[in-house]
Amino acid sequence: MRIPPYYRYPTWQRFFAGAAVGALISWFVFLHLFGVLQDKQVRQIIELQDKIADLENEIRIWQEDYVKINKINKKKLTVQDISIHLVNAEQYKLDSYTTFRIEESVKEDVSHLIAKDIETVYNGRELLKRAIENKTYTINEQTYKLEIYQLFLFTTLSIELKLKPVSSPS
């Protein structure tokens, strides 16, 4: 089988030459358009990377400020509420009113600690303990003292107390 000799005819020669020149021109146009689009993409990526770097820097600054403020606030935490609970009221068969009166009496004694910073209250915990434990209560002709069972100190001062009978001197 033989290829027809189209390369000898001038019309076919012009056609193939035009196709070759057209392919070459279209290739250069494609390279130019592709280069322009890639340049836009590269500029956009660089802008976004700059924006990301700025935002990361801003986040870092905010986090440092947040940590500093938290440290300052932790130092300045204050007692905001006082919770008193009598643990063994059932053991001595105390009614709820008597239990409430004892708890309120202790709450009045320590109410001056509200709005004090926690560090000050912690440093004065022995004084607080003595103030609560040295007070006596007379219930049904029986004298009782309170003993601090547990003391939790944070924004809420939580004190759990045990009632103990005072042995009468002989």
Report how far residue 111's alpha carbon sits from residue 82's, in angstroms, rounded to the nearest whole number.
7
CA distances from 61 to 55, 58, 66 (A): 10, 5, 9
- Model's pTM, two decimal places? 0.57
For 97-122, write each residue's pLDDT tens digit.
999 999 999 999 999 998 888 888 99
For 7-50, write each residue's pLDDT tens digit.
678 887 888 889 999 999 999 999 999 999 999 999 999 999 99
- Written in H, E and C, the secondary structure of 87-152 is CCCCCCCCCHHHHHHHHHHHHHHHHHHCCCEHHHHHHCHHHHHHHHHCCEEEECCEEEEEEEEEEE
In whole angstroms, how large is the CA radius of gyration of the chain? Answer: 44
**The pLDDT of residue 170 is above 60:** no
